[in-house]
Structure 1
Amino acid sequence: MTNRYLVRAGEAPAYSPANHTGTINRRLIGRENVGAKHVEVVLGVIERDGGALPHSHPGIEQVCYLLEGSARVEVGGEMFDMLPGDTCFFPADAMHVFTVTSEKPARLLVIYSPPYAESNARTTANLPKE
C-alpha cells in the first residue's frame, strides 16, 4: 500500500539541476508527487567544490537548511559560511552562490516558494560570456 502524502527520499527520482556542478537533487515535495501548489522541498547532495553557480530565481524565495557538510554562501552582497543546522534565505530575484567547502559531500534541504519545479525559464544565470 502506498500513501499519497508520504515520500521516501530514496524513491524520489534523482536529477542534476541547471546552473549547478556536482549536484544531485531529489524532489521530496512538489506538484507532481503530492500535489503541492505553493511550496517545493528538495533534498540536495553536493560534492566538494560543487554547488550553485551565480544565479537568481525571479519571483521565487529559497531557503537552504544544511544537514551535513559545510558551505560558503554569497547573497545580497554578503558572504558567510554554513555548518550543519544552519539555515540561509535567498530573497526572490537575489543573485546567489552556494559552494561546498567540506571534504565530504554536503546534504541540504532546499525549500522554494512558489515552487520552482526546476524550470530554466525561472532561473537567471550570471554566467561569463564567451
Structure 2
Amino acid sequence: MSRNSPVYFVSTADTPGYHPANHLGTLNRRLIGPETVGSRHLEVIHGTIEKGKGALPHAHPGIEQVCYVISGRAVAQVNGQCKELGPGDCCFFPPHAMHVFTVVSDEPAQILVIYSPPYEESPERVVRPA
C-alpha cells in the first residue's frame, strides 16, 4: 500500500494465500487488514477449508470473530453450543471463547472471516486448551 495512493479494492484472486497456525487443510487470503488497505479496527479473511479439516480448539484474547459461510457446510462449536452451518449462515466467537470450526461437506467450504481488532495471525494472540 502506497501512502500517496491508498488501496480500497482487493481481489481474492490477487491476494497471496497462507496456511494459518492451529488449522488443518485451510488456505486463507487476508483481504482487508492493516497491510492491505490500512484498516485499523477490523480484518477480513477469505478461507478455503477441506472436508473434515478446519480450526483446532483455540481462542483469541480480546478479539471478536465472525465466520460467514459462502459455500459448503461446517460445524461450529463455542461455549457449549454447536451448530451445523451452510451457505448464508454465520457464527460469532466472543473474545476469549474457546471455539472449533470443522468442514462437514464433501466439497471444500468457502468462509469469510472477520476479526475485530485485526488478528494478523500473531501467535501471542491465540490461546490453545491446556
Unmatched tracts of structure 2, length 5 or more: none
**Which letter does structure 1 place at the counterpart of 2:13?**
G
Give the structure 1 partner of residue 128 of structure 2. 125
Q: Deviations over 1:48-107 (max 9, x none)?
A: 001000000000000000000000111011111001100100000000000000000000
Report the Cα offset of residue 3 of structure 1.
6.9
Distance 1:9 1:71 in 2: 21
Moved over 6 A (4+): none
Query: Aligned residues: percent identity?
Result: 56
* Unpaired stretches in structure 1, ≥5 consecutive residues: none
1:66 to 69, 73, 76: 69
Q: What is the aligned residue count? A: 126
Counterpart residue number, 2:49: 46
The alpha-carbon deviation at position 13 of structure 1 amounts to 1.1
Q: 2:81 aligns to what?
A: 78
Could you tell me whether the CA contact under 8 Å between 2:6 and 2:37 is conserved in 1?
A: no
Aligned partner of 1:107 in structure 2 is: 110
Aligned residues: CA RMSD: 1.2
Give me the TM-score of the superposition, normalised by structure 2: 0.94
The two structures have a TM-score, normalised by structure 1, of 0.94
User: What amino acid is the match of 1:21?
Assistant: L
Which residue of structure 2 lines up, in the alignment, with residue 31 of structure 1? 34
